[in-house]
Amino acid sequence: MPAIVLDDPTPPDPRHRWDSLDAAARGACYDNNAGVPDSAAQVAARNAASATYRAAHPDWLDIPYAAGARTGFDLYPATETGAPCLVFVHGGYWQRNARADFACFAEGLNAAGWSVAMPGYTLAPEASLTGIVAEIGAALDWLAVHGPARGIGGLTILAGWSAGAHLAALHLGHPAVSAVLAISGVYDLAPIRETYLNEKLGLTEVEIETLSPLRLAVTPKPMTIAYGSRELPALVHDARNLHALRSAAHAPGALLPVPGADHFSILDGFRRPDGILVRAAQDLLGGAR
């Protein structure tokens, strides 16, 4: 009787043939805007919805946690100071976007009784990736000290999307963080250095080795790693590889593929109190207690 073999339906990781790819092909491996045909329309709708949500919740916006122009928080506190808080770090390959563009993704968690805190950070090339990582740590330090006076004092789940997922994964060990929800992230920086994205980042060898979650020791706190089934293959494989690394170390946390979601639509799972990402945060909270 022939052996039964279950083939992996995921498209192969193009980085396995990296040396054969030219600069354009390497860049395409990470170009989420080009990889999602209606990305411009999705971004425009997101920004409009965020402007509306932000205007409806004006009390705790643009609160500085450091001296930089972008180093501020937008806070959306729950009614109860002791409610859990999701800290959401935006993406944009560390060189574009702003916290205000993502305000609408506080909606589902606020409706579920959570607080939401959205930090900004200095973008490359004004800041190095080392500097950006340090800013997120400073933001978490600030929130732990000053959050209760602004209605935020419960357990913290740190979440991030795209480059923000990378930043969130690096801060799982922060003492104020109970767990991480990493969404559609990039977890190995080495290939990034050989794409157009590095023109502003200027990644160093030290940064690749010390700021790539796939190259670091595993932190044994809970981390859920989410990705859309329609993500670019490089991002799908980074998510699976990080989960495999953590599973091998017996670290807690789920791998969460979101059916039908692309790199942008996956965040719709934060728009409703029963959304898949809201439920993922709630599940993490239960595991972190």
Average pLDDT of the segment spanning 62-77: 97
Angle at 251 between CA 246 and CA 257, to 5 degrees: 60
Looking at the predicted structure, is the pLDDT value of residue 289 above 70?
A: no
Query: Which pLDDT tens digit goes with each residue over 175-224?
Result: 999 999 999 999 999 999 999 999 999 999 999 999 999 999 999 999 99
Q: How confident is the model at residue 3 (pLDDT cuts 50, 70, 90)?
A: low
Above 70 in pLDDT, residue 7? no
Chain centroid, CA 77 distance in Å: 20
**Structure confidence at residue 8 (pLDDT):** 61
Q: What's residue 4's pLDDT?
A: 60
Q: Which pLDDT value is given to residue 220? A: 96
Q: What is the CB-side half-sphere exposure of residue 113 using CA atoms within 13 A?
A: 8
175-196 CB burial, b ≥16 within 10 A, e <16? ebbbbbbbbbbbbbbebbeebe
Over residues 94-118, the pLDDT tens digits come to 999 999 999 999 999 999 999 999 9
Longest dimension (CA), the chain: 69
With a cut of 60, say whether residue 1 has pLDDT above it: no
* Contact status, residue 75 vs residue 117, Cβ threshold 8 Å: yes
- When pLDDT is averaged across residues 127-131 and rounded to a whole number, the result is 98
Within 8 A by CB and 6+ apart from 66, the residues are 135, 138, 139, 142
Q: What's the confidence (pLDDT) of residue 9?
A: 66
Confidence (pLDDT) at 286? 84
Express as a percent the part of the chain with pLDDT over 90. 94
The reply to whether CATH 3.40.630.30 applies to domain 34-287 is no
pTM here?
A: 0.95
Q: Which residues contact 192 (CB under 8 A, 6 or more apart)?
A: 30, 186, 198, 201, 203
Q: Judge whether residue 10 has pLDDT over 80.
A: no
Residue 173 has pLDDT above 60, yes or no: yes
User: In sequence order, what are the residues at sequence separation of 6 or more whose Cβ sits closer than 8 angstroms to the Cβ of residue 235?
Assistant: 30, 32, 184, 185, 186, 227, 263
Token digits for 157?
Answer: 């789940």
Instruction: Express each pLDDT in 246-268 by its tens digit.
Output: 999 999 999 999 999 999 999 99
